[in-house]
Amino acid sequence: MTDFLAADWGTSNLRAWRLNAAGEVQDVARLPWGVAGLGPGEAARKLDEALRPMLGAQGLPAILCGMIGSAMGIAEAPYADCPAGAADIAGRLLQVDANTFIVPGLRCARPDGYPDVIRGEETKVLGWLRLDPKRRSGDHLLCLPGTHGKWVRVRDGRIRDFVTCMSGELYALLSEKSVLKPGAPPSDPASFREGLEYGAASAPLASRLFTVRARRVGPDPSGRLEPGKAASFLSGLLIGDETARLPQLLGLAAGSSIGLMGERGLCDLYAPALSLRGLTVEEADAEQAVIAGLASLMGARS
Protein backbone atom coordinates (compact mmCIF):
# COMPACT_ATOMS: atom_id res chain seq x y z
CA MET A 1 0.00 0.00 0.00
CA THR A 2 1.25 3.49 -0.89
CA ASP A 3 0.77 6.74 0.99
CA PHE A 4 -2.90 7.64 1.38
CA LEU A 5 -5.08 10.54 2.47
CA ALA A 6 -7.03 10.09 5.72
CA ALA A 7 -9.60 12.57 7.04
CA ASP A 8 -11.92 13.02 9.99
CA TRP A 9 -14.49 15.35 8.42
CA GLY A 10 -17.15 16.47 10.86
CA THR A 11 -20.01 18.92 11.16
CA SER A 12 -17.80 21.87 12.12
CA ASN A 13 -14.20 21.02 11.20
CA LEU A 14 -11.93 18.92 9.03
CA ARG A 15 -8.70 17.22 10.12
CA ALA A 16 -6.74 15.47 7.40
CA TRP A 17 -3.41 13.68 7.14
CA ARG A 18 -1.26 12.11 4.46
CA LEU A 19 -0.17 8.79 5.95
CA ASN A 20 2.39 6.29 4.74
CA ALA A 21 1.77 2.56 4.46
CA ALA A 22 2.66 2.12 8.16
CA GLY A 23 0.06 4.73 9.19
CA GLU A 24 2.70 7.35 10.07
CA VAL A 25 1.83 11.02 9.53
CA GLN A 26 3.65 12.67 6.60
CA ASP A 27 1.62 15.88 6.47
CA VAL A 28 -1.41 17.39 8.20
CA ALA A 29 -4.16 19.97 7.60
CA ARG A 30 -6.73 21.36 10.06
CA LEU A 31 -9.44 23.43 8.41
CA PRO A 32 -12.84 24.99 9.32
CA TRP A 33 -14.60 23.19 6.48
CA GLY A 34 -17.31 21.43 8.46
CA VAL A 35 -19.98 19.82 6.30
CA ALA A 36 -22.75 21.85 7.99
CA GLY A 37 -21.34 24.99 6.34
CA LEU A 38 -20.89 23.56 2.84
CA GLY A 39 -23.32 23.66 -0.05
CA PRO A 40 -24.30 20.75 -2.32
CA GLY A 41 -21.25 19.29 -4.04
CA GLU A 42 -18.86 21.65 -2.27
CA ALA A 43 -17.21 18.98 -0.08
CA ALA A 44 -16.25 16.87 -3.11
CA ARG A 45 -14.81 19.94 -4.84
CA LYS A 46 -12.80 20.94 -1.77
CA LEU A 47 -11.45 17.42 -1.47
CA ASP A 48 -10.21 17.24 -5.06
CA GLU A 49 -9.32 20.87 -5.79
CA ALA A 50 -7.94 22.04 -2.43
CA LEU A 51 -7.27 19.32 0.15
CA ARG A 52 -5.48 16.82 -2.09
CA PRO A 53 -3.06 19.45 -3.51
CA MET A 54 -2.52 20.91 -0.02
CA LEU A 55 -1.27 17.54 1.28
CA GLY A 56 0.41 16.36 -1.91
CA ALA A 57 -2.18 13.59 -2.19
CA GLN A 58 -3.29 13.91 -5.82
CA GLY A 59 -4.04 10.47 -7.17
CA LEU A 60 -3.65 8.74 -3.80
CA PRO A 61 -6.35 6.63 -2.16
CA ALA A 62 -8.43 8.56 0.37
CA ILE A 63 -10.44 7.30 3.35
CA LEU A 64 -12.85 9.67 5.11
CA CYS A 65 -14.85 9.26 8.32
CA GLY A 66 -17.39 11.37 10.17
CA MET A 67 -20.35 13.41 8.96
CA ILE A 68 -18.83 13.56 5.47
CA GLY A 69 -20.61 10.21 5.12
CA SER A 70 -24.02 11.68 6.02
CA ALA A 71 -26.61 13.30 3.75
CA MET A 72 -24.78 16.63 4.36
CA GLY A 73 -21.48 15.26 3.02
CA ILE A 74 -20.12 13.85 -0.23
CA ALA A 75 -22.40 10.80 -0.16
CA GLU A 76 -24.46 9.00 2.45
CA ALA A 77 -22.74 5.82 3.62
CA PRO A 78 -25.39 3.40 4.97
CA TYR A 79 -25.00 2.41 8.62
CA ALA A 80 -23.44 -0.94 9.43
CA ASP A 81 -24.90 -3.05 12.23
CA CYS A 82 -23.35 -3.83 15.60
CA PRO A 83 -21.51 -5.82 16.75
CA ALA A 84 -18.78 -4.72 14.36
CA GLY A 85 -14.99 -4.83 14.19
CA ALA A 86 -12.49 -3.40 11.72
CA ALA A 87 -13.06 -6.13 9.12
CA ASP A 88 -16.85 -5.70 9.28
CA ILE A 89 -16.64 -1.92 8.85
CA ALA A 90 -13.96 -2.14 6.13
CA GLY A 91 -16.26 -4.46 4.23
CA ARG A 92 -18.95 -1.77 4.25
CA LEU A 93 -16.82 1.18 3.07
CA LEU A 94 -18.65 3.28 0.51
CA GLN A 95 -16.54 3.75 -2.63
CA VAL A 96 -17.53 7.04 -4.25
CA ASP A 97 -14.89 7.04 -7.00
CA ALA A 98 -11.78 5.09 -7.98
CA ASN A 99 -9.72 6.50 -5.09
CA THR A 100 -12.18 7.67 -2.39
CA PHE A 101 -13.75 5.58 0.36
CA ILE A 102 -16.13 6.70 3.12
CA VAL A 103 -16.44 4.92 6.46
CA PRO A 104 -20.00 3.90 7.32
CA GLY A 105 -21.47 4.82 10.66
CA LEU A 106 -22.87 2.20 13.01
CA ARG A 107 -26.33 1.51 14.34
CA CYS A 108 -27.34 -0.58 17.33
CA ALA A 109 -30.06 -1.29 19.85
CA ARG A 110 -29.29 0.42 23.16
CA PRO A 111 -29.49 -1.57 26.40
CA ASP A 112 -33.00 -0.15 26.89
CA GLY A 113 -34.09 -1.45 23.48
CA TYR A 114 -34.20 1.88 21.64
CA PRO A 115 -32.11 2.55 18.49
CA ASP A 116 -28.92 4.61 18.33
CA VAL A 117 -26.43 5.65 15.63
CA ILE A 118 -22.90 7.05 15.38
CA ARG A 119 -20.68 8.49 12.64
CA GLY A 120 -16.97 9.06 13.22
CA GLU A 121 -16.64 7.78 16.78
CA GLU A 122 -16.52 4.18 15.53
CA THR A 123 -13.22 4.98 13.78
CA LYS A 124 -11.74 6.42 16.98
CA VAL A 125 -12.74 3.27 18.86
CA LEU A 126 -11.14 1.06 16.21
CA GLY A 127 -7.96 3.13 16.53
CA TRP A 128 -8.10 2.86 20.33
CA LEU A 129 -8.15 -0.92 19.91
CA ARG A 130 -5.28 -0.88 17.40
CA LEU A 131 -3.05 1.22 19.66
CA ASP A 132 -2.95 -1.38 22.46
CA PRO A 133 -3.37 -5.12 21.78
CA LYS A 134 -4.51 -5.72 25.38
CA ARG A 135 -7.68 -3.80 24.59
CA ARG A 136 -8.72 -6.35 21.96
CA SER A 137 -9.86 -8.92 24.52
CA GLY A 138 -12.49 -8.68 27.22
CA ASP A 139 -15.14 -6.04 27.87
CA HIS A 140 -14.40 -2.29 27.83
CA LEU A 141 -16.42 0.91 28.11
CA LEU A 142 -15.33 4.18 26.53
CA CYS A 143 -16.73 7.68 27.04
CA LEU A 144 -16.29 10.03 24.07
CA PRO A 145 -17.67 13.42 25.17
CA GLY A 146 -18.88 15.93 22.61
CA THR A 147 -21.94 17.76 21.35
CA HIS A 148 -23.58 14.35 21.11
CA GLY A 149 -21.37 12.34 23.47
CA LYS A 150 -21.03 8.59 22.94
CA TRP A 151 -20.64 5.81 25.51
CA VAL A 152 -19.36 2.75 23.64
CA ARG A 153 -19.17 -0.86 24.82
CA VAL A 154 -16.49 -3.07 23.26
CA ARG A 155 -16.22 -6.83 23.57
CA ASP A 156 -13.25 -8.84 22.28
CA GLY A 157 -12.19 -6.18 19.80
CA ARG A 158 -15.63 -5.44 18.36
CA ILE A 159 -18.03 -2.58 19.05
CA ARG A 160 -20.93 -4.20 20.86
CA ASP A 161 -23.30 -1.25 21.29
CA PHE A 162 -23.38 2.38 22.44
CA VAL A 163 -25.52 5.15 23.90
CA THR A 164 -25.61 8.80 22.82
CA CYS A 165 -26.02 11.59 25.38
CA MET A 166 -26.78 15.14 24.19
CA SER A 167 -25.29 17.01 27.17
CA GLY A 168 -23.13 19.20 24.93
CA GLU A 169 -25.99 20.34 22.73
CA LEU A 170 -28.26 20.80 25.74
CA TYR A 171 -25.67 23.05 27.39
CA ALA A 172 -25.37 25.15 24.23
CA LEU A 173 -29.14 25.53 23.87
CA LEU A 174 -29.84 26.20 27.54
CA SER A 175 -26.97 28.66 27.97
CA GLU A 176 -27.81 30.63 24.82
CA LYS A 177 -31.56 30.42 24.21
CA SER A 178 -33.37 29.52 27.43
CA VAL A 179 -34.50 31.26 30.59
CA LEU A 180 -31.42 29.74 32.26
CA LYS A 181 -29.04 31.77 30.07
CA PRO A 182 -26.13 32.65 32.40
CA GLY A 183 -24.80 35.52 30.28
CA ALA A 184 -21.13 34.53 30.72
CA PRO A 185 -18.89 31.50 30.08
CA PRO A 186 -18.08 29.04 32.88
CA SER A 187 -15.52 30.44 35.28
CA ASP A 188 -15.77 28.75 38.68
CA PRO A 189 -14.46 25.21 39.42
CA ALA A 190 -16.24 25.10 42.80
CA SER A 191 -19.63 25.75 41.17
CA PHE A 192 -18.88 23.14 38.52
CA ARG A 193 -18.07 20.61 41.25
CA GLU A 194 -21.30 21.50 43.06
CA GLY A 195 -23.17 20.87 39.80
CA LEU A 196 -21.48 17.48 39.38
CA GLU A 197 -22.60 16.43 42.84
CA TYR A 198 -26.17 17.69 42.30
CA GLY A 199 -26.18 15.78 38.99
CA ALA A 200 -26.53 12.51 40.92
CA ALA A 201 -29.73 13.64 42.70
CA SER A 202 -32.89 11.62 42.14
CA ALA A 203 -35.20 14.52 41.19
CA PRO A 204 -36.04 14.84 37.47
CA LEU A 205 -33.32 16.67 35.52
CA ALA A 206 -35.91 19.04 34.04
CA SER A 207 -36.72 20.14 37.59
CA ARG A 208 -33.14 20.42 38.82
CA LEU A 209 -32.21 22.58 35.82
CA PHE A 210 -34.53 25.36 36.96
CA THR A 211 -32.47 25.80 40.11
CA VAL A 212 -29.93 27.59 37.87
CA ARG A 213 -32.57 30.27 37.22
CA ALA A 214 -33.81 30.36 40.81
CA ARG A 215 -30.31 30.95 42.14
CA ARG A 216 -29.76 33.78 39.68
CA VAL A 217 -32.81 35.77 40.82
CA GLY A 218 -33.46 34.46 44.36
CA PRO A 219 -33.88 36.86 47.28
CA ASP A 220 -30.91 35.49 49.27
CA PRO A 221 -27.76 37.31 48.08
CA SER A 222 -25.51 34.80 49.83
CA GLY A 223 -26.81 31.94 47.66
CA ARG A 224 -27.13 33.88 44.42
CA LEU A 225 -25.09 32.69 41.45
CA GLU A 226 -23.14 35.23 39.42
CA PRO A 227 -23.18 34.61 35.62
CA GLY A 228 -19.84 32.75 35.42
CA LYS A 229 -20.72 30.59 38.41
CA ALA A 230 -24.18 29.88 36.99
CA ALA A 231 -22.63 28.68 33.72
CA SER A 232 -20.23 26.43 35.63
CA PHE A 233 -23.04 25.03 37.77
CA LEU A 234 -25.17 24.35 34.66
CA SER A 235 -22.29 22.58 32.93
CA GLY A 236 -21.58 20.50 36.02
CA LEU A 237 -25.25 19.61 36.46
CA LEU A 238 -25.59 18.26 32.91
CA ILE A 239 -22.30 16.36 32.96
CA GLY A 240 -23.03 15.14 36.49
CA ASP A 241 -26.40 13.75 35.47
CA GLU A 242 -24.85 12.02 32.44
CA THR A 243 -21.95 10.45 34.35
CA ALA A 244 -24.21 9.34 37.20
CA ARG A 245 -26.69 7.52 34.97
CA LEU A 246 -24.93 6.20 31.87
CA PRO A 247 -22.57 3.79 33.71
CA GLN A 248 -25.63 2.32 35.44
CA LEU A 249 -27.48 1.91 32.13
CA LEU A 250 -24.44 0.19 30.63
CA GLY A 251 -23.82 -2.05 33.65
CA LEU A 252 -20.52 -0.56 34.81
CA ALA A 253 -19.89 -1.00 38.52
CA ALA A 254 -18.09 1.49 40.76
CA GLY A 255 -14.37 0.79 40.81
CA SER A 256 -14.33 -0.26 37.16
CA SER A 257 -12.03 1.24 34.54
CA ILE A 258 -13.39 3.48 31.77
CA GLY A 259 -11.65 4.89 28.70
CA LEU A 260 -11.96 8.62 28.05
CA MET A 261 -11.22 10.11 24.66
CA GLY A 262 -12.05 13.52 23.21
CA GLU A 263 -11.11 17.18 23.00
CA ARG A 264 -8.75 18.25 25.80
CA GLY A 265 -11.14 20.79 27.34
CA LEU A 266 -14.00 18.30 27.51
CA CYS A 267 -11.83 15.54 28.95
CA ASP A 268 -10.75 17.97 31.68
CA LEU A 269 -14.43 18.27 32.63
CA TYR A 270 -15.38 14.60 32.31
CA ALA A 271 -12.36 13.09 34.08
CA PRO A 272 -13.28 14.48 37.54
CA ALA A 273 -16.94 13.69 36.92
CA LEU A 274 -16.16 10.03 36.21
CA SER A 275 -13.79 9.84 39.15
CA LEU A 276 -16.52 11.23 41.38
CA ARG A 277 -18.65 8.22 40.38
CA GLY A 278 -15.92 5.84 41.60
CA LEU A 279 -14.54 4.97 38.14
CA THR A 280 -10.87 4.67 37.21
CA VAL A 281 -10.27 6.90 34.19
CA GLU A 282 -7.81 5.94 31.45
CA GLU A 283 -7.42 8.80 28.98
CA ALA A 284 -6.41 8.31 25.35
CA ASP A 285 -5.47 10.75 22.61
CA ALA A 286 -8.41 11.13 20.20
CA GLU A 287 -6.32 12.32 17.25
CA GLN A 288 -3.91 9.40 17.52
CA ALA A 289 -6.91 7.08 17.75
CA VAL A 290 -8.69 8.37 14.65
CA ILE A 291 -5.45 8.21 12.63
CA ALA A 292 -4.89 4.63 13.80
CA GLY A 293 -8.52 3.75 13.05
CA LEU A 294 -8.38 5.13 9.51
CA ALA A 295 -5.09 3.29 8.91
CA SER A 296 -6.64 0.09 10.26
CA LEU A 297 -9.61 0.36 7.90
CA MET A 298 -7.44 1.20 4.89
CA GLY A 299 -5.27 -1.81 5.67
CA ALA A 300 -8.29 -4.09 6.09
CA ARG A 301 -9.69 -2.83 2.78
CA SER A 302 -6.41 -3.69 1.05
- Please provide the CATH number assigned to the domain covering 1-76: 3.30.420.300
pLDDT at 219 over 70: no
d(C-alpha 224, C-alpha 216), whole Å: 5
d(C-alpha 2, C-alpha 74), whole Å: 24
Q: How confident is the model at residue 301 (pLDDT cuts 50, 70, 90)?
A: confident
pLDDT at 222 over 90: no
The structure's pTM equals 0.94
User: By three-state DSSP, how is residue 260 classified?
Assistant: strand
Per-residue pLDDT tens for 137-168? 999 999 999 999 999 999 999 999 999 999 99
Q: Say yes or no: do domains 1-76 and 167-284 share a fold.
A: yes
Extended beta strands in the chain, E state? 4-9, 14-19, 25-31, 62-65, 80-81, 94-97, 100-102, 106-109, 115-118, 139-144, 149-155, 158-165, 257-261, 280-284
d(C-alpha 126, C-alpha 190), whole Å: 36
Per-residue pLDDT tens for 101-122? 999 999 999 999 999 999 999 9
Contact at 8 Å (CB) between 16 and 34? no
Domain boundaries, the chain: 1-76, 167-284
User: By three-state DSSP, how is residue 275 classified?
Assistant: helix
- Please provide the CATH number assigned to the domain covering 167-284: 3.30.420.310
